[in-house]
Amino acid sequence: MFTETTLGVISLNLWSILFSLLNLVILFLLAKKFLYKPVKKMLADRQATIDADYQRAKDAEEAAEKNKEEYEKKLDSAKSEADDIIKNAVATAKAREKEIVASAKEESEQIVKQARENAELEIKKAQEVIKDEIVDVSTKLTEKLLEREIDMESNKDLVDSFIDGIGEE
């Protein structure tokens, strides 16, 4: 009954159809076992590798961002520290400048004071020398006066010569 039916041009064989369906199911199961599962596993492994690569890239990007923030903080800190160092150096230089100016002023005052003292000593020495010379001249004048007889005219000549002698010396 189910063996063969003829419809004119087309003939149907039920056993052939069942056998073909059975072959198709077996091929499907074999393909599923030997092809679909390995290919699916390979695709899953590949997807896992890609996901891991994306995760590593994301982690690297986050680390780079974190490093960038730390670098910016350190850079800001370094700039601030450099500004502080410059301010301290300027303050130190100004203080040193004041010390140097004060020291130079004090030294110049000492030099002026020493020069004045030296000038006063030289003046005193010169006065002593002049006094000694006046005493010598007076002594010589007295000797001459005693040797000579004094009258008005000779007295005037003597005083004039004494004054001329003082001017020359």
Task: Check: CB of residue 134 under 8 Å from CB of residue 163.
Answer: no
Q: How would residue 159 be classed by pLDDT, with cut points 50, 70 and 90?
A: confident
CA distance 137 to 144: 10
The predicted-structure confidence for 112-150, as pLDDT tens digits, reads as follows: 999 999 999 989 888 888 877 887 787 777 777 666 655
Report d(CA 154, CA 145) in Å as an integer: 9
pLDDT digits (tens, 9 = 90+) for 16-59: 889 999 999 999 998 888 888 888 889 999 999 999 999 999 99
Predicted confidence at residue 57, as pLDDT, reads: 94
The phi, psi pair for 3, rounded to 5°, reads: -75, -60
List the beta bridge partners of residue 12. 5
Question: Domain limits of the chain?
Answer: 5-168
Phi, psi (5° rounding) for residue 127?
Answer: -65, -40
- Furthest-apart CA atoms within the chain: distance in Å: 203
User: What pLDDT is recorded for position 1?
Assistant: 45
